[in-house]
Amino acid sequence: MSTTAATTTVLYCSDPLNERRADAHFAAEARQLRAAEGTVVLLDHDALLAGDTERAVARVPGGAGAVWYRGWMIPVDRYAELDAALRRRGGALAVTPDAYRRAHELPGWYETFAGLTPVSGWLPTAPGVVPDPEVLAALAAGLPPGAAIVKDYVKSRKHEWDEACYVPDLADAAALHRVVARFVALQGGFLAGGVVLRAFEHFVAQRAAAAEVRVWWRDGAPRLVTAHPDSPVAEVPAPDLEPVRAAVEALGCPFVTTDLALRADGVWRVVEVGDGQVSDLHREADQAAFIGLLTADQAPLRTPSPSGTTPA
């Protein structure tokens, strides 16, 4: 795939109400790509999740070559099916299914980031299946004593903090089982991979700045720093990226995000790793700078200025 703006092709989710246009959440980004002389093609995300890959890629022209995906999260098995469907049409995803899995699911990236991220353990679990209390207690025994966070391989339910996310004491087997059971119930059929326990660490926010910083990496280099999309403010502090850079390079995935937070002892920690194709942008992020990640071989690291804009 050529990496010039004129030939960069990005596959966006289509609007469920109008298959000829990009989903409203990604519409501004798609317009920015067209302004950069890139090519927008559309995917029926609902059809893909339903297993109808041919219908999902019906609007993708034949011979599209390598394409980036930008849209809602895709389970790893469906992502592989999407890549196969594109290959039958003379295309392929720029991020291979193996690379997508490594960046998207915690078991794929955890060992590479060990020492930079909270201690974690996991159990493969089918949607709707709650591990037995004894099994959860054995998993918890591999973590430091104290509090922990419950999530699956991809997402937590931090907005249901007390009931489905936070375990005050891993030694309380009944409370651990109760929180995990509620998490599994709320995730329903969207539970990804299994249940994960992550040691709880105390993070602090700098004044008038985002508590979590999202760093966008292309080919092992940091290209853009933004606030986490959940942040009410766009300003970001300057994290120490050197320890993270080595881990991202070792992971070997072409388009990665790392969410960083400042621990109470002043150490920057990796809270989450993700595939950049399915990572959301903060509403005040520089869309042109982001598109530059996909349309250029080399791009300088860009961080928001105090006003929330990105300097040239």
Please indicate whether residue 296 or residue 185 has the higher confidence score (pLDDT): 185
Please report which confidence band the pLDDT of residue 175 belongs to, taking 50, 70 and 90 as the band edges.
Answer: very high
Residue 199 has pLDDT above 80, yes or no: yes
**301, 224 contact by CB (below 8 A):** yes
Summarised one tens digit per residue, pLDDT across range 81-139 is: 999 999 999 999 999 999 999 999 999 999 999 999 999 999 999 999 999 999 999 99
| Distance (Å, whole) CA 100 – CA 98 | 5
In this prediction, residues 218-233 reach a mean pLDDT of 91
d(CA 108, CA 63): 31
pLDDT band at 57 (very low <50, low <70, confident <90, very high): very high
- Percent of the chain exceeding pLDDT 70 equals 93
Rounded average pLDDT over 234-240? 86
Q: What is the mean pLDDT of the chain?
A: 91
Instruction: Specify whether the backbone of 297 is left (phi greater than 0), alpha (psi in -120 to 50) or beta.
Output: alpha
Angle at 244 between CA 239 and CA 250, to 5 degrees: 165
Which pLDDT score is estimated for 192?
97
Whether 303 has a pLDDT exceeding 80, the answer reads no
Give the N- to C-terminal CA distance of the chain in Å, as an integer.
27
Asked if the 96-118+201-312 domain carries CATH number 3.30.470.20, the reply is yes
pLDDT at residue 55, rounded to an integer: 96
Q: How confident is the model at residue 297 (pLDDT cuts 50, 70, 90)?
A: low
Amino acid 1: pLDDT = 38
Percent of the chain with pLDDT over 90: 82
- Cα–Cα distance list, 9 to 64, 110, 114 (Å): 8, 30, 34
d(CA 281, CA 200): 25
Q: Where are the domains of the chain?
A: 5-94, 96-118+201-312, 125-199
Residue 25 has pLDDT above 90, yes or no: yes
